[in-house]
Structure 1
Amino acid sequence: MDNYYINPQGMVVEYMDDNTKKLNELYAQLEILKIKFKKVIMAARIYQKMIKAIKAEIKKLKDGG
């Protein structure tokens, strides 16, 4: 039980040194960035499809409808 203590709220929590805390924070930030990046990629794919559809419509209208 050396790695655990009771916090002011009365909960048993694992003791972490500063490096471990910082490492956990960095892992959390990394996961958040991964999620944001996936959303950006999804949006880019949607925009690519929209651009392709607009170009096809322009070509169709140029060729005489």
Structure 2
Amino acid sequence: MGPYRIEDLEGKERGLRVGCETHDEWREFEPGRRAVAFYCPDCSLEVEVRLHDDLDWRDWGERC
């Protein structure tokens, strides 16, 4: 299994590139997507990447 790599793409509106380095499987995702799923058929695993704005972050240990 993997290692998996997540990269920012170059350009004004940057998308994401997600891939499995071991099996040289890569997929590029368009800008503006907040969640993407990448599947490597050789590993038989799906990796889900979610993007969060640092201003939206909160401590999940905090209770209301």
* Alignment TM-score, normalising by the size of structure 1: 0.23
TM-score w.r.t. the length of structure 2 is 0.24
Comparing both chains, which one has the higher relative contact order based on Cα–Cα distances under 8 Å and sequence gaps of 6 or more? Answer: 2
Higher helix share: 1
Highest CA radius of gyration, 1 or 2?
Answer: 1
More strand by share: 2
